[in-house]
Amino acid sequence: MTGITIFASPWWVNLLFLVPIVTYLLSRNAKIQLSRKQLLIIAIFGIAFGLAEAAVEADLMAATGLWPAPQVNHPAILSPDLARIERFRQAATIVMLGSIAWIATQNLKARVAAFLWAFAFWDFFYYVWLRVTTGWPTSLLSTDILFLIPVPWISQVWYPLLISSLTAAVIWSRSEKSSPS
């Protein structure tokens, strides 16, 4: 186990810390037009999608012989074709999360919030499901590749979990308690 690493790589990945702050600032004058019921349904999608992504990741690691090596090693070892399909899969993930947000509500601010909410639950539960099913990550200090587009984004697991948790907390606190009008 290594010590805590504060900064992600490349440097601009650290700007993700602004996501919950900007979400709060944009919603401080008016509630996000998403009901708690809508948020719960989107969260269920995110939790299930996190399991699907964790399964794909575990299958990829096993198929490439990297099991149970730390995930941070796999982009350098993946064949160019496998790395390309992995990037397309990640892009498709964003499209699917965006699609669920688009159909969940009508206005742009609520759609962005729904996307961030779905992303937060997907991301958080991706790690939960990997831990439950494979035993990885072994610690919040485990290093991971968060994304491959346009280049690998690398950080310790605590970083995306913190960003996802804070973002979800802001959205929940700024959502409407009853159905939007």
Q: For residue 9, tell me if it sits in a domain.
A: no
Spell out the alpha helix ranges (H) of the chain.
18-27, 36-63, 74-77, 80-104, 108-134, 158-174
Q: What is the structure's pLDDT at 73? A: 47
- 1 lies in a domain? no
Q: Does 24 fall in a domain? A: no
The residue range of the domain holding 91 is 31-175
CA triplet 16, 17, 19: central angle to 5 degrees? 70
- Residue 151 is predicted with a pLDDT of 87
pTM of the model: 0.88
Residue 82 CB partners (closer than 8 Å, separation 6+): 60, 64
Q: What is the pLDDT of residue 179?
A: 58
119 in a domain, yes or no?
A: yes
Residue 8 covered by a domain? no
What does the pLDDT read at residue 67?
64
What is the reported pLDDT for 84? Answer: 87
**Whole-number Å distance between alpha carbons of 7 and 3:** 12
- Of 50, 164, 43, the residue nearest 104 (C-alpha): 43
Residue 104 lies in a domain: yes
Give buried/exposed letters for 52-83 (b at 16+ CB in 10 A, else e): ebbeebbebbeeeeeeeeebeebbeebeeeee
Task: Please check whether residue 73 lies inside any domain of the structure.
Answer: yes
How far apart are the C-alpha atoms of 105 and 127, rounded to whole Å?
27
Q: How much is the pLDDT for 63?
A: 77
In a domain, 10, yes or no: no
Domain count, the chain: 1
Q: What is the pLDDT along the chain (181 residues), one digit of tens a residue?
A: 468 989 999 999 999 999 999 999 989 888 999 999 999 999 999 999 999 999 988 888 777 776 655 555 455 566 778 888 889 999 999 999 999 999 999 899 999 999 999 999 999 999 999 999 888 899 999 988 888 898 889 999 999 999 999 999 999 999 987 655 4
Beta bridge partners of 155: 144
